[in-house]
Structure 1
């Protein structure tokens, strides 16, 4: 009789993937994935809506149209055949994993109890438009200098530019 001195291997943790859902069906997709036995995450924000006669507090998806799910990418058919699921986020037909630290950071922010809100994903060098303040309507290029966001406005013919500090909440991407 032989005895094995091996410990059972821990269950494999698959990477997180972004799942694009049908419009306003994030909860349905999350529940269906849970019923199929998949670990999922649907980050939500509490939002207060004021009506003329009352105030209603609702939980709204932090990323409308998306749910996160852990799964083996080689066995994704049960995921993509889920009725509320549109696709797995990736490049072409190849799903792209999301780093655990990014999901953990979102979880920490939402658990903190601090006021969190959606904001546009800003990338340095991106074209932006100012929506509020004295610069409303201006367009330029986003620049980050030290710890501040700046908008660069250029005169192409002169090959000269000027940058101005802007409030991140006043801009949208073009």
Structure 2
């Protein structure tokens, strides 16, 4: 026997949708065709293919998208049968809502194409300072950013320039 939806489930909430491999965009298209509001956060990624570099829009969270629904009112089980969808991320009996504010913050940070600037103001070539660790206070040049929040930078040390990777959170723009 299925229990009633929890009282906190009343009203529209965002839920995570687990998609089939590389079918996030297809899932969002079909969810929207069914009348749901869906969101797929993307990031620009650079990949090398056939000795060429190309910049693509890729899912920020591979195999996941978000859908807004009211589980007390919508036929949410039909989402599991949507093209491109593997399943809703579930609790025991009902979909597990994403904590309030997370998807809203992602939407606010995204441009009109759903692309989120993972560099948050940092650009390759910018001077940056490391805030913590053995290199605290050292200034280097930002080389690249990746979708996982890591930053590659060049540090000028005694023997010359050294490439290091650090978390985005331990950097600030150099003054």
TM-score by length of 1: 0.55
Contact conserved, 1:26 with 1:67, CA < 8 A, in 2?
yes
Contact conserved, 1:45 with 1:59, CA < 8 A, in 2?
yes
* Structure 1 residue 99 displacement after superposition: 3.1
Larger radius of gyration between Structure 1 and Structure 2: 1
CA displacement, residues 51-97 of structure 1 (integer Å, 9 cap, x when unaligned): 45432110000011111001122421221111321111122332111
Unaligned runs of 5+ in 1: 1-11, 121-166, 170-174
Q: CA RMSD in A?
A: 2.8
Count of residues in Structure 1 that have an aligned counterpart in Structure 2: 113
Question: Residues 93, 119 of structure 1: CA spacing in aligned structure 2 closer, same or farther, 3 A cutoff?
Answer: farther
SS at match of 2:29: helix
* In structure 2, distance between residues paired with 1:30 and 1:20: 11
SS at match of 2:58: strand
SS at match of 1:17: strand
* Structure 1 residue 168 displacement after superposition: 4.8
**1:17-56 mapped onto 2 (5 Å cutoff):** 17-51=15-49, 53-56=51-54
* Partner residue, 1:156: none
1:115 aligns with 2:144: no
* Structure 1 residue 13 displacement after superposition: 5.7
CA displacement, residues 32-65 of structure 1 (integer Å, 9 cap, x when unaligned): 0011111000000011123454321100000111
SS at match of 1:34: helix
TM-score by length of 2: 0.55
* Partner residue, 1:80: 80
